[in-house]
């Protein structure tokens, strides 16, 4: 699986360069994230390989051929987001088909704390305190026809805030080229921590598919950060990460990154800097 990532790199980087710039809090592109220290829950596993000047990293939330599994992966610590300002997260991902049917799906999650939610149709998100952008690849009668894109809130997977039926069929499970997923937030402008969430997936050969949910109350989760003088809320500490589940199906769900390997001279400079810091600390201790 890691060998495949090396050949996918040029297309992924090209898509990343097309990311729109967001004001204020800016964009977070996880295609160059170091997943080594992320918190892994359930069936999630991390692998890394080095070639062509890159560390190719992959988090398998579920593995193809293994059914009834659910996994989640979260960044090592929380970040502070001001929900009265825009932001965007983007990430490369792919779904690898198993031998059985398509399902159940995966999600990018913003949450109060890192948890693994309900399995199967719960996508590893059900019951979580937060919002999610879900790529749902299985449906029962009366549900949005899969593959669908959904905006979820309050750990509820049964009633999405919004959904889009993509009509992609099994082509969403073809790992020949990775998707770029995005979750963008645009505040209302009223200072009420309410705004519009837009989730999208893009592949050069298949195009872009999006789902939009307006008037989402973002103050319903996270830990409030207060201004020490006015006690006004200036942001909320939240965790970000991924979850997935495959229930009776056996699809694999992956997020990936490619981190440049430091040049030898860069590594030497880093080592020299660390040595200098050690000498300074030793001299201070002697004094």
Mean pLDDT of 21-46: 85
Instruction: Determine, yes or no, domain membership for 238.
Output: yes
Given its phi and psi angles, is residue 56 left (phi above 0), alpha (psi -120 to 50 degrees) or beta?
beta
pLDDT value at 4 more than 60: no
Peptide bond into 104 cis (omega under 30): yes
Instruction: Pick the more confident residue, 13 or 193.
Output: 193
Mean pLDDT of the chain: 85
Instruction: Determine, yes or no, domain membership for 285.
Output: no
pLDDT reported for residue 263? 56
Summarised one tens digit per residue, pLDDT across range 106-149 is 999 999 999 999 999 999 999 999 999 999 999 988 899 999 99
Question: Domain residues for 126?
Answer: 2-262
CA distance linking residue 208 with residue 187, whole number of Å: 23
Instruction: Determine, yes or no, domain membership for 140.
Output: yes
Instruction: Determine, yes or no, domain membership for 269.
Output: no
Instruction: Determine, yes or no, domain membership for 144.
Output: yes
Summarised one tens digit per residue, pLDDT across range 190-237 is 999 999 999 999 999 999 999 999 999 999 999 999 989 998 999 999
Confidence of residue 101 (pLDDT cuts 50, 70, 90): confident
CA distance linking residue 273 with residue 254, whole number of Å: 36
CATH number of the domain encompassing residue 123:
2.60.120.200
Instruction: Determine, yes or no, domain membership for 240.
Output: yes
Domain count, the chain: 1
User: Could you tell me which residues come within 8 angstroms of residue 74 by beta carbon, excluding any fewer than 6 positions away?
Assistant: 38, 39, 41, 109, 111, 114, 239, 240, 241, 242
Instruction: Determine, yes or no, domain membership for 273.
Output: no
pLDDT value at 13 more than 90: no
Instruction: Determine, yes or no, domain membership for 268.
Output: no
pLDDT reported for residue 52? 84
């Amino acid at each position: 699986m890691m060998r495949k990532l090396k050949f996918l790199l040029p297309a992924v980087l090209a898509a990343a360069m097309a990311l729109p710039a967001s004001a204020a809090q800016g964009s977070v592109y996880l295609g160059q994230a170091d997943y080594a220290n992320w918190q892994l829950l359930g069936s999630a596993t991390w692998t890394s390989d080095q070639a062509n000047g890159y560390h190719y990293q992959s988090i398998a939330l579920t593995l193809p051929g293994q059914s009834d599994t659910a996994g989640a992966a979260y960044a090592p610590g929380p970040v502070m987001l001001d929900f009265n300002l825009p932001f965007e997260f983007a990430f490369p991902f792919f779904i690898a088909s198993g031998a059985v049917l398509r399902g159940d799906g995966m999600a990018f999650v913003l949450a109060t704390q890192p948890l693994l939610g309900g399995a199967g149709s719960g996508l590893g998100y059900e019951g979580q305190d937060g919002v999610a952008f879900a790529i749902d690849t299985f449906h029962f009668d009366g549900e949005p026809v899969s593959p669908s894109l959904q905006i979820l809130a309050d750990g509820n997977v049964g009633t999405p805030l919004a959904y889009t039926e993509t009509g992609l069929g099994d082509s969403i499970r073809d790992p020949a080229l990775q998707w770029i997923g995005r979750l963008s937030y645009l505040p209302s402008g009223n200072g009420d921590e309410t705004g519009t969430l837009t989730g999208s997936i893009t592949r050069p050969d298949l195009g872009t598919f999006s789902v939009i949910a307006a008037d989402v109350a973002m103050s319903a989760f996270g830990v409030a950060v207060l201004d020490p003088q006015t006690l006004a809320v200036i942001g909320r500490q939240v965790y970000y990460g991924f979850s997935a589940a495959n229930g009776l199906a056996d699809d694999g769900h992956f997020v990936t990154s490619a981190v440049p390997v430091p040049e030898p001279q860069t590594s030497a400079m880093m080592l020299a800097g660390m040595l200098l810091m050690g000498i300074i600390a030793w001299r201070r201790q002697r004094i």
